[in-house]
C-alpha cells in the first residue's frame, strides 16, 4: 500500500471512517527506532546514572582511551544489571502485546487482555503453587528445576484459564462482551482466591517469592532467564504466520471463517496455546503486568489497521517500547527505591481501558 | 448429467426438534434454485447443511460426487462460497480488506483484479477505503457479497463451476440493490455456477430462479419450475395467505396478496 499520485481523492482525506494508513515497512521501522530510543534512555537512567557520553565506552563500542574511573563500574552496572533488565522488559512487553493481540482476534473483541480476564491470574496461581510445592518436603526433589518448573506451571495455569474462558464466553461462534468480561472477572477472582490461600499457608521464604508475582517486577532479570524467554518470543513470531490470516477472517465470525476456508478449530487451538504459552512465560518471569496487551494493539489498529500480518509484529515492537519505558519510569521515579511495574502499567492502562469501554458502549449495547 | 450438488434424505434434529426432515435435492451446474417457505420452515438450516457448516443427523450431501465432510475447509471453500445473513465485524477493516479476504491465500497482486471487479459489481468502488463498520447495513451486506463473489471466482478459476449459497441475501437491501444482487447471481448461473438462494420475496424468486423449492415444516413440499411451484392453492396451504397470480406481458408470473387475514390452517 504505497502512496501514489493516481490515488482516488477520498484516499487523501482523513475523514472519519476513511483509512489513511502508513506502509508496513514505515510502521515497523518507526517502531524499531522508537525501541532503540527508549532503550538508550533506559541505559542511562537508574539508581546509578550513566550519562550518554560514557555509554559507548561502557558498552565497549569505542576504544578512544578516554575511559575514566567510571568505566569499571559502568560496565558492571550495564552488563550484569541494566542490559539484562532492559532486554527482559522488551521481550516480556513483546510477549504480552502479541498475546493480547491474538486473544483479541480470537475473541473478536478489542477489550480482551490476558491480565484483565484472569489468564495471567491463572498463570500466577499456578506459579505460586509451584513455589509452595517445590519448597515442601514432598516436592523438594524438584527444587533443582524450579527455574524450569515455574514457567511450565504458569503456562499450564494460563492454558486452563483460557480454555475455561473460551468455553464460557463463546456460544456458537459469538462472544458477548459482557459475558466475556464478567467471566474473566470471576475466573480472576477464583485464581486470586487460590493465590491468597497459598499466601496464607506459605512460610516467610515462600511468601517473599509469591509476593514478587503479585506485584510484578523486572528486578529479577538475569541472562539465563532471557535465554529462556527469547525462544518463546521467537516461536510466537514464527507461529503468527500460521494464525495471521485466520485471525483476520475470524473477524467475520466462526461460521463465515469456515465458509471462507479457515480450519476454525485448528486456528482456535493454536491461538489458545500461543496466548497461554506467551502469557504464562511472561508471568513466570515478572508476575502479572496488565494492560500492555490491550494498549499496544489498540493504538496500532488505529494507525496501521487491524490486519494481523502487520499488527502482530508491530504489537510486539510497541509492547517492547511500552514496557521498557514503563520499567525505566518504575526504577527512576522514586530512585533508589523502585515502584512495582504492575502499578505503573495499571495507572496508565486502566483509564485507557475505561475510555475504550465507554466508546464501545456507544457503539454496541453491552 | 450428474448433479453438482446432491442431497439425499437429509434430516437434522437439534435438541429433540426435527428442523429438516428427509429432504432430497439435486442441483446442476448453471442452475439457479430459490428456497422459499414460511418462517421456521428450515430454509436456513437446510442451507447451513449444504454449506457443510451443520452436519445432518441423517442423510448425505455430495458436492461434485464427494461427501462434504470429507473436504478439508480450505478445499471446500474453493468449491462453494456462502453469504450468511448477519455478519458483524468487530475491527475497523476497510471494505477492500474485507473483500480481499475472499481471495484466501492468493497474493494481494493476484487478488486485486478480482477484488476490483467484485467491488464494481456491487457498486462499492467509492467505498473501498471506508471502514466497514461505518457503512449502512445494506452497504455492508453488499461488501460481504463482493467478498463471496471473489471467493467464488478464485475457486472457479481452479476447479471450474462451483456452488454459490445465499442466505436471505436481500434482507437489508433496497429494491434496486435487491434486483442487482439477484441479477448478479443469475449471471453467475449463466456462466455455469450452481446458485442456491433462500429468498423471502416470492416475486423475486419467480422472476429469477429456474426452480423453486418450497419448504414447509422442515419437509420439501414442492420442487419444481416456478409455475408448478407457486399456485394460489399452494400459497394458501403453506403461507396461509390468499393471493392473486397474474402474468406480465413477457409471461413472467407475479403475485399479489389479496388479504392479510389468515385462512384456517388445514391439517
Q: How far is A93 from chain B (nearest CA, A)?
A: 23
- As a whole number, mean pLDDT of residues A240-260 equals 90
Of B75, B76, B130, the CB nearest to A18: B130
pLDDT at residue B50 in the model = 95
What ipTM is given for this predicted complex?
0.90
Distance (Å, rounded) from C-alpha B78 to C-alpha A74? 62
Q: Which residues of A touch B84 (CB under 8 A)?
A: 253, 255-256, 259
**In whole angstroms, how far apart are CA A173 and each of A158, A186, A268, A274, B51?**
22, 21, 11, 20, 16
Any CB–CB contact under 8 A between A252 and chain B? yes
Distance (Å, rounded) from C-alpha A50 to C-alpha A271? 42
**Residues A315/A97, Cβ–Cβ less than 8 Å:** yes
**Domain-wise residue ranges, chain B:** 5-230, 231-267
B211-261 pLDDT per residue, tens = 999 999 999 988 888 777 788 888 888 988 888 888 888 878 888 888 655
Residue B157 pLDDT > 60: yes
Asked whether the beta carbons of residue A306 and residue B130 sit closer than 8 angstroms, the reply is no
Q: For residue A6, what pLDDT band results from cuts at 50, 70 and 90? A: very low
**Residues B144/B167, Cβ–Cβ less than 8 Å:** no
Domains of chain A: 85-363 (1.10.3470.10)
Asked whether the beta carbons of residue A306 and residue B51 sit closer than 8 angstroms, the reply is no
pTM: 0.85
Instruction: Identify the closest residue of chain A to B126 by CA–CA distance.
Output: A10
SS3 B58: strand
Residue A14 main-chain phi, psi, to 5 deg: -110, 45
SS3 B208: helix
B69-79 pLDDT per residue, tens = 999 999 999 99
pLDDT at residue B117 in the model = 95
- As a whole number, mean pLDDT of residues B194-206 equals 93
Distance (Å, rounded) from C-alpha B142 to C-alpha B145? 5
Of A17, A19, A108, the CB nearest to B90: A108
**Residues A312/A244, Cβ–Cβ less than 8 Å:** yes
Any CB–CB contact under 8 A between A249 and chain B? yes
Q: Which residues of A touch B97 (CB under 8 A)?
A: 248, 305, 307
Residue A15 pLDDT > 70: no
**In whole angstroms, how far apart are CA B197 and each of B21, B185, B211?**
19, 9, 11
pLDDT at residue A8 in the model = 43
A83-139 pLDDT per residue, tens = 999 999 999 999 999 999 998 998 888 888 888 788 888 888 888 888 888 777 666
A149-190 pLDDT per residue, tens = 878 888 888 889 988 888 887 766 556 667 777 888 899 899
Average pLDDT, chain B: 90
Any CB–CB contact under 8 A between A307 and chain B? yes
Asked whether the beta carbons of residue B73 and residue A258 sit closer than 8 angstroms, the reply is yes
User: Could you check whether the bond before residue A336 is cis, i.e. omega within 30 degrees of 0?
Assistant: yes
B-contacting residues in A 80-119 (Cβ below 8 Å) = 108-110
A294-311 pLDDT per residue, tens = 999 999 998 898 999 999
Q: CB count, 10 Å around CB of A158? A: 35
Instruction: Identify the closest residue of chain B to A265 by CA–CA distance.
Output: B73
- The correct CATH number of B5-230 out of 3.40.50.2300, 3.90.1150.10, 3.40.50.300, 2.60.40.740 is 3.40.50.300
Amino acid at each position: 500500500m504505497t502512496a501514489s499520485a493516481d490515488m482516488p481523492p477520498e484516499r487523501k482525506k482523513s475523514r472519519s471512517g476513511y483509512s489513511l494508513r502508513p506502509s508496513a515497512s514505515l510502521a515497523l521501522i518507526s517502531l524499531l527506532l522508537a525501541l532503540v530510543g527508549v532503550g538508550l534512555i533506559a541505559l542511562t537512567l537508574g539508581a546509578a546514572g550513566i550519562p550518554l557520553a560514557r555509554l559507548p565506552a561502557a558498552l565497549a563500542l569505542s576504544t578512544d582511551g578516554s575511559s575514566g574511573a567510571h568505566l569499571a563500574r559502568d560496565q558492571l552496572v550495564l552488563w550484569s544489571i541494566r542490559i539484562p533488565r532492559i532486554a527482559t522488559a522488551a521481550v516480556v512487553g513483546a510477549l504480552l502485546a502479541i498475546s493480547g493481540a491474538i486473544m483479541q482476534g480470537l475473541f473478536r473483541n478489542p477489550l480482551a487482555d490476558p491480565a484483565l480476564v484472569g489468564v495471567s491470574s491463572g498463570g500466577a496461581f499456578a506459579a505460586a503453587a509451584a513455589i509452595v510445592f517445590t519448597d515442601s518436603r514432598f516436592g523438594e526433589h524438584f527444587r533443582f528445576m524450579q527455574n524450569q518448573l515455574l514457567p511450565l506451571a504458569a503456562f499450564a495455569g494460563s492454558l486452563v484459564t483460557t480454555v475455561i474462558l473460551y468455553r464460557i464466553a463463546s456460544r456458537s461462534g459469538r462472544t458477548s462482551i459482557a459475558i466475556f468480561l464478567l467471566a474473566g472477572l470471576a475466573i480472576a477472582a477464583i485464581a486470586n482466591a487460590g493465590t491468597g490461600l497459598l499466601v496464607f499457608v506459605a512460610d516467610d521464604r515462600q511468601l517473599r517469592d509469591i509476593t514478587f508475582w503479585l506485584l510484578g517486577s523486572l528486578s529479577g532479570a538475569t541472562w539465563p532467564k532471557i535465554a529462556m524467554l527469547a525462544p518463546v518470543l521467537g516461536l510466537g513470531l514464527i507461529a503468527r504466520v500460521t494464525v495471521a490470516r485466520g485471525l483476520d477472517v475470524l473477524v467475520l465470525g466462526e461460521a463465515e471463517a469456515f465458509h471462507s476456508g479457515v480450519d476454525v478449530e485448528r486456528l482456535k487451538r493454536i491461538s489458545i496455546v500461543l496466548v497461554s504459552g506467551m502469557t504464562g512465560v511472561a508471568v513466570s518471569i515478572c508476575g502479572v503486568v496488565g494492560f500492555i496487551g490491550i494498549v499496544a494493539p489498540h493504538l496500532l489498529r488505529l494507525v496501521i489497521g487491524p490486519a494481523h500480518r502487520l499488527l502482530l509484529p508491530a504489537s510486539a515492537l510497541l509492547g517492547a517500547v511500552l514496557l521498557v519505558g514503563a520499567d525505566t519510569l518504575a526504577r527512576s521515579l522514586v530512585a533508589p527505591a523502585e515502584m512495582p511495574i504492575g502499578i505503573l502499567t495499571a495507572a496508565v492502562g486502566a483509564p485507557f481501558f475505561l475510555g475504550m469501554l465507554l466508546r464501545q458502549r456507544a457503539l454496541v449495547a453491552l | 448429467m450428474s448433479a453438482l450438488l446432491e442431497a439425499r434424505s437429509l434430516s437434522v434434529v437439534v435438541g429433540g426438534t426435527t428442523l429438516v426432515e428427509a429432504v432430497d435435492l439435486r442441483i446442476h451446474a448453471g442452475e439457479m434454485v430459490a428456497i422459499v417457505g414460511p418462517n421456521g420452515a428450515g430454509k436456513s438450516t437446510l442451507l447451513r447443511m449444504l454449506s457443510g457448516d451443520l452436519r445432518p443427523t441423517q442423510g448425505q450431501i455430495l458436492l461434485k460426487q464427494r461427501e462434504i465432510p470429507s473436504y478439508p475447509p480450505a478445499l471446500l471453500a474453493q468449491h462453494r462460497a456462502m453469504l450468511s445473513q448477519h455478519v458483524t465485524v468487530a475491527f475497523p477493516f476497510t471494505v477492500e480488506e474485507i473483500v480481499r479476504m475472499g481471495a484466501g491465500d492468493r497474493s494481494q497482486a493476484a487478488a486485486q483484479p478480482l477484488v476490483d471487479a467484485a467491488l464494481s459489481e456491487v457498486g462499492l468502488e467509492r467505498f473501498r477505503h471506508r471502514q466497514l463498520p461505518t457503512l449502512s447495513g445494506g452497504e455492508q451486506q453488499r461488501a460481504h457479497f463482493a467478498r463471496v463473489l471473489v471467493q467464488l471466482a478464485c475457486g472457479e478459476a481452479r476447479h471450474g463451476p462451483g456452488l454459490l449459497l445465499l442466505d436471505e441475501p436481500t434482507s437489508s437491501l433496497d429494491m434496486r440493490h435487491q434486483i442487482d444482487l439477484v441479477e448478479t447471481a443469475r449471471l453467475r448461473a449463466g456462466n455455469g455456477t450452481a446458485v442456491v438462494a433462500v429468498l423471502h420475496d416470492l416475486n423475486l424468486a419467480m422472476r429469477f430462479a429456474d426452480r423453486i423449492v418450497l419448504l414447509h415444516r422442515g419437509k420439501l413440499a414442492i420442487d419444481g419450475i416456478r409455475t408448478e411451484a407457486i399456485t394460489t392453492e399452494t400459497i394458501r396451504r403453506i403461507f396461509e395467505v390468499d393471493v392473486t397470480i397474474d402474468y406480465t406481458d413477457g409471461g413472467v408470473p407475479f403475485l399479489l396478496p389479496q388479504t392479510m387475514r389468515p385462512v384456517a390452517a388445514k391439517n
